[in-house]
Chains A and B, each alone.
Chain A
């Protein structure tokens, strides 16, 4: 595996379900990010982890819970979601989290909440 991989690629869940999105980066980077991409809206930065410490929580509802157990793995735990949470969730990483670094993106998880 190379780059940034996200699983699953597609997820359909009911509003009462609990699920998790997984992201793994094979680049040796120290910073990881979750972005939300909704139709006709700019990418929204949700969370940033630098050296496994959360440094940004961009006013995201508590029904989204991130976890970064090590610098290679990032999870997004989902519970009690709403239909408006349906979107493409993108994971990204950067080398050291310093400003100006290139973001490397995974292909995303397309989430549908019924």
Chain B
């Protein structure tokens, strides 16, 4: 069965420090891959997505992610975290069905220390 795991439930970093959020997926083929962010009291917003081609993708707010097929991973990175980045981050896979079927991971909660 398809699944998405995010090993870190909660991460705390200092403002200005680098960040890496981990994501692994299980799927029979290469899926579409996404990172979404959810601020408190809000819905989810797309940060970036990978379909094919260059395995390093750039997103909004200075985020990037790297797809590694051999590790079934799609880790999210940011070189310097800002206090406004504190939020819940969700990795997701889009299955190649006839419509958008997106499976989300459990999320990683990010806290930023000023």
Determine whether the beta carbon of B44 is less than 8 Å from that of A50.
Answer: no
A-B pairs under 8 A by CB, number: 68
Determine whether the beta carbon of A103 is less than 8 Å from that of B100.
Answer: yes
Per-residue CB contact flags for chain B residues 58-101 toward chain A (1 = under 8 Å, else 0) read: 00000000000000000000000000000000100011111111
Determine whether the beta carbon of B107 is less than 8 Å from that of A42.
Answer: yes
Bound state CA distance, A95 and B104, in angstroms?
Answer: 19
Determine whether the beta carbon of B101 is less than 8 Å from that of A100.
Answer: no
Does more than half of chain B's interface fall in helix, strand or loop, or is it mixed? strand
Q: Which of B51, B90, B100, B104 contacts A94 (CB 8 A)?
A: B100
The interface residues of chain A lying within 8 Å CB-to-CB of B42 are 107-108
The interface residues of chain B lying within 8 Å CB-to-CB of A97 are 99-100
Bound state CA distance, A103 and B90, in angstroms?
Answer: 13
The interface residues of chain A lying within 8 Å CB-to-CB of B53 are none
CB of B4 closer than 8 Å to a CB of A: yes
Q: How far is the CB of B54 from chain A (nearest CB, A)?
A: 16
The interface residues of chain B lying within 8 Å CB-to-CB of A50 are 99
The interface residues of chain B lying within 8 Å CB-to-CB of A98 are 99-100
Chain B interface, number of residues (Cβ within 8 angstroms): 27
Determine whether the beta carbon of B101 is less than 8 Å from that of A4.
Answer: no
Determine whether the beta carbon of B43 is less than 8 Å from that of A31.
Answer: no
Q: How large is the interface on A (under 10, 10 to 19, 20 to 34, 35 or more residues)?
A: 20 to 34
Bound state CA distance, A50 and B98, in angstroms?
Answer: 10
The interface residues of chain A lying within 8 Å CB-to-CB of B90 are 43
Whether A107 contacts B41 in the complex (CB less than 8 A), given A42-B107, A98-B99, comes out as yes
Bound state CA distance, A43 and B32, in angstroms?
Answer: 17
List residues of A whose CB falls within 8 A of some B CB: 4, 31, 33, 35, 40-43, 45, 48, 50, 55-56, 90, 92, 94, 97-103, 105-108
Q: Please name the 7 residue pairs, one residue from A and one from B, whose CB atoms are nearest each other, closest first.
A: A105-B43, A43-B104, A100-B32, A97-B99, A105-B44, A42-B106, A50-B99
